[in-house]
Structure 1
Amino acid sequence: MPNKMTIYRIGGESAEMDAIDARRTLQSHANEWFSTAADAKAAKPKPAPTPAQAAVPEVAPSLAPAEKPALEAKHRGKGSYSVLDASGAEVMEGLSKEDAEAFNAMTADEKAEYVKTENKS
Structure 2
Amino acid sequence: MVKVKYLPEPGTPDDTETLNHKFSARRAADVTDEAVLAVLRGNPFFQVLDDEKGSRTPTPAPKTAEVVLTALEQVDGTFAIMSGPDLIKEGLTKEDADAFNALSDEDKAEYVAA
Same fold (TM over 0.5): no
Please say which structure displays the higher CA radius of gyration.
1
Structure 1 or 2: more strand by fraction:
2
| TM-score (structure 1 length as normaliser) | 0.38
Which of structures 1 and 2 has the larger relative contact order (alpha carbons within 8 angstroms, sep 6+)?
Answer: 2
Structure 1 or 2: more helix by fraction:
1
